[in-house]
Structure 1
Amino acid sequence: MRHFLTLADYTKEEILEILELSRKIKKETKNRVFKDYMHKKTLGMIFEKSSTRTRVSFETGIYQLGGVGLFLSSNDIQLGRGEPMSDTSRVITRMVDMVMIRTFEQSKLEEFAKYSKVPVINGLTDEYHPVQLMADYLTIQEAGLDKNLIVAYVGDGNNMTHSWLNLAAKLGFELRIATPKGYEVNEDILVNALEMAKKSGAKIIITNDPKIAVKDATVVTTDTWVSMGQEEEKEQRIKDFNGYIVDKSMMELAQEKAIFLHCLPAYRGYEVSEEVMEGPQSLIFQEAENRLHAQKGVMVWLDRQRDK
């Protein structure tokens, strides 16, 4: 049985296979064809961190696949009252067909998966956000930029940068990450990605200069500087990230055909300007929609693996 906890667990062929399935299901959805790929299957959705896009995309996705989603916040289940993750897993996974978890520590997700009787999907942890990267790469494919791809990430060394590292290392494209000093990516995750990159031929560049990262890039992406749980650091982070806003002048350093991506929610005027957000290079809302389609591909693929 396979879980979807981090992209490092998957081969290039598997990632592309899931994305191909996602494109197929998206095309069917756009033609108002809804096949019961997961007929009467139940997806348990555990949210220790709240979310707009994750809840709507997974709940809509499982419904369109012929199943049903159960929204379970920490306040709704015993997990929020101190029940061990291992006990919660062994109870819930005897009643549902698949589980998506959006939580804090990656270790909690991995513990749940260890005891689970069904596939487990990482809806986000502090370390990784793999389903978002599947949506991002689907958007890149649709824009026709997956060949000779150069991705520039400008911002915080967070779960998004870690997932970009894994995706680049697996698929073999060039990734440039620009973070302020003190906000670099996790060293262990970087070392692991560099090791994987030796096999794929990926080029990974780490810098503190966003202009170096963006120069001639085909995709420019960023994320909020103040993630959930970091509100007390807001004023200090705004100072530290001075010069890291993706604005028109920064986008002009990228290739003319370059696109802008952002996983949302975005704080306009901080990590990205209003002009770029609403500009012709921005594909952020297509990217947001693709959370739905990419995650349907992930769910169907995992369900098929379980039946093998």
Structure 2
Amino acid sequence: MQNIFYGRSYLAEKDFSGEELYTLIKLAEHLKFLKQQRVPHEYLKGRNIALLFEKTSTRTRSSFTVAATDLGAHAEFLGAKDIQFGKKESLSDTARVLGSMYDAIEYRGYSQPVVETLAAESHVPVWNGLTDDWHPTQMLADFMTMDEVFGHLKGLKLAYLGDARNNVANSLLVTGALLGVDIALVAPESLQPTTEVQQIAHKFAEKSGAKIVLTDDVTLGVQGAHVLYTDVWASMGEEDAWAERIQLLQRYQINAEVVAQTGRADTIVLHDLPAFHDLETTMAQDIYKRFGLTEMEITNEVFHADNAKQFQQAENRLHTIKAVMAATLGELFLPQPLAID
């Protein structure tokens, strides 16, 4: 039975074609339908999956665990205190041991070389749940949400506002370029992606026809955008950067005025969560005490508006992760990648 994905790892979007990514998105939409209709789809029955988490998680851990259960597999969680990488055992030795016991491995942590070494040494499919460089499972959920809302991807424009040199922005830029979606990264010059990431995106954009804009001008960047996207201003492990980031990024907040500047009535808003839109968390309360802000990257008004699709986006983490797991580990018939609509 032919499957173009079988046995492959999913480490970064740049390792796949746009058509392959779109095939995974459409498979995720099908799996979402099966789950909604309560149709069993145990394509991975009898398989065992290791979930390695150096960084904490809500959506990623829940998505992989539920996806594995729905697919009939068993998922074993190994947290930061359970993983011996470079402490009592080398990364290579750990990878070989895990590969001998598990049929696939998920890794969420800091280093991209770690997830790449796991794939090289374990000889089983490895899935990147997040590293400091890339966030590939998040991207499938993001672009699936856009495909559901608009019915297509090609010709759409996504404008990302905020810290544009983090893993989410890197992945949005490259994934949009692969899928033919115009991407505008709207951020201060000091928080734009590296030259290497930009070069990767431009190479893919030449083939897909996607337009890429990097600008510090909010009005220019969001004009005509079908999608406004933002993320927290300081990523995990950057808590000491809050003062600098707030000073740099306050004018890149997604608020009602910015939504209106798109000039479109059908613009949607996405956020990969968690979001600082109110004071209902201890971290937000700490930010308020230190800086007097009640909202940061997105206002509470916009977060709760009808055009805000972040919870649909969050649910789609499950379905897209399930698609990656089923496609790379299951015996499905997926002979040819789909043309991108």
- TM-score interval w.r.t. the shorter chain? over 0.9
| Aligned twin of 2:158 | 151
Q: CA deviation at 1:215?
A: 1.0
Partner letter of residue 57 of structure 2?
Answer: S
1:118 pairs with 2:124: yes
How far apart are the structure 2 equivalents of 1:48 and 1:305?
A: 30
Kept in 2, the 8 Å contact 1:74–1:80? The answer is no
* Deviation per residue, 1:188-229 (Å, 9 max, x gap): 111111112111111100001122111110000010001100
List alignment gaps of at least 5 residues for structure 1. Answer: none
Q: State how many pairs are aligned.
A: 308
Superposed, 1:115-194 pairs within 5 Å as 115-144=121-150, 146-157=153-164, 158-194=166-202
Is 1:10 the equivalent of 2:10?
Answer: no
Letter in 1 for 2:306: P
User: Which residue among 306, 321, 325 is the counterpart of 1:280?
Assistant: 306
Q: 2:245 aligns with which of 205, 223, 237?
A: 237
Match for residue 256 of structure 2 among 233, 248, 256: 248
What TM-score do you get using the length of structure 1 for normalisation? 0.96
- What is the match of residue 260 of structure 1? 269
The question of whether the paired residues in 1 share the 8 Å contact of 2:154 and 2:180 is answered with no
**Superposed CA offset, 1:2-53 (max 9, x none):** 1101111111221111111111111000011122111021111000111111
- Aligned sequence identity (%): 37
Deviation at 1:80, TM superposition (A): 6.9
What stretches of structure 2 of length at least 5 have no aligned partner?
A: 1-6, 278-294, 336-341
Task: Give, in whole Å, the separation in 2 of the partners of 1:305 and 1:112.
Answer: 23
What residue in structure 2 maps to residue 34 of structure 1? 40
Q: Structure 1, residues 65-99: CA drift from partner, whole Å, max 9, x if none?
A: 11111110120132273422111110101111111
2:210 is aligned to 202
- Offset, 1:305: 7.2
Note if contact 2:47-2:72 (Cα within 8 Å) is conserved in structure 1. Answer: yes
Task: Report if the CA contact (8 A) 1:2-1:306 is conserved.
Answer: no
Hey, what does 2:297 align to over in structure 1?
Answer: 271
TM-score (structure 2 length as normaliser)? 0.87
Distance 1:146 1:13 in 2: 12
- Runs of 4 or more off by more than 3 Å in structure 1? 304-308
Is the CA contact (8 Å cut-off) linking 1:2 and 1:302 kept in structure 2? yes
